[in-house]
Structure 1
Amino acid sequence: MMNRIFSILILLLLSTTVMLAADIKLNTRNLPADAVNEARKKTAEIMDRLSLTNDSIRENIQIVITNRYLELREIHQNYDERNKKIEAMGLPKEKAADELERSYYQYNSDLYRSRFGYIAWLSFYLNNEQVETIKDAMTYNLFQVRYNDFLDLLPNLTESDKNRVHHWLVEAREFSMDFETPRKMRQMFTKYRGRINNYLSSRGYDLRKATEDQEARKMKK
Structure 2
Amino acid sequence: MKKIFRVMNGAPIEAALRRLSAAGKYLPSFSNKIVTVVFGCSLLSFSLRSAAQVNPDYEKVLTERTGKIVKTLGITDSSRYHAVMNTIVHQYMDLNAVHEQYKAAVAAIKVDSSKSDKAAAIKQEEDKKNTALRELHQHFVTSLSKDLNKEQVEQVKDGLTYRVLPVTYSAYQDMLPQLTTAQKAQIYNWLIEARELAMDEGSSDDKHKVFGKYKGRINNYLSTAGYDLKKETAAWQQRLKERRDSK
Q: One fold, TM greater than 0.5? A: yes
Q: Distance in 2 between matches of 1:58 and 1:92?
A: 48
Match of 1:100 in 2: 122
Q: Is 1:173 matched up with 2:195? A: yes
Q: Distance in 2 between matches of 1:39 and 1:219?
A: 37
Match of 1:4 in 2: none
Match of 2:223 in 1: 201
TM-score calculated relative to the size of structure 2: 0.77
State the shift of 1:120 in Å: 0.6
Contact 2:173 2:179 in 1 (8 A): yes
Structure 2: give runs of 5+ residues left out of the alignment: 1-14, 23-41
Q: Distance in 2 between matches of 1:135 and 1:192?
A: 17
Match of 1:121 in 2: 143
Match of 1:76 in 2: 99
Give me the CA root mean square deviation.
Answer: 2.1
Q: Distance in 2 between matches of 1:55 and 1:192?
A: 38
Match of 1:46 in 2: 69
Q: Distance in 1 between matches of 2:226 and 2:44?
A: 52
Q: Identity percentage over the alignment?
A: 31
Q: Is 1:87 matched up with 2:110? A: yes
| 2:182 equivalent among 135, 160, 171 | 160
Contact 1:24 1:60 in 2 (8 A): no
Deviations 1:125-179 (A, max 9, x none): 1110010111111111111111111111211000000000000111111111112
Match of 1:64 in 2: 87
Deviations 1:189-215 (A, max 9, x none): 111000011111112222122112112
Contact 1:35 1:70 in 2 (8 A): no
Contact 1:151 1:157 in 2 (8 A): yes
Match of 1:27 in 2: 47
Runs of 4 or more above 4 Å deviation: 22-25
Q: Cα gap change, 1:24/1:217 in structure 2, threshold over 3 Å: closer, same or farther?
A: farther
Q: Cα gap change, 1:84/1:54 in structure 2, threshold over 3 Å: closer, same or farther?
A: same
Contact 2:109 2:115 in 1 (8 A): no
Match of 1:19 in 2: none
Aligned length: 204
Q: Distance in 2 between matches of 1:24 and 1:157?
A: 53
Match of 2:34 in 1: none
Match of 1:55 in 2: 78
Structure 1: give runs of 5+ residues left out of the alignment: 1-10, 17-21
Contact 2:199 2:207 in 1 (8 A): yes
Match of 2:241 in 1: 219
What letter is aligned with 2:196?
E
Contact 1:28 1:36 in 2 (8 A): no
What letter is aligned with 1:123?
S
Q: Cα gap change, 1:219/1:105 in structure 2, threshold over 3 Å: closer, same or farther?
A: same
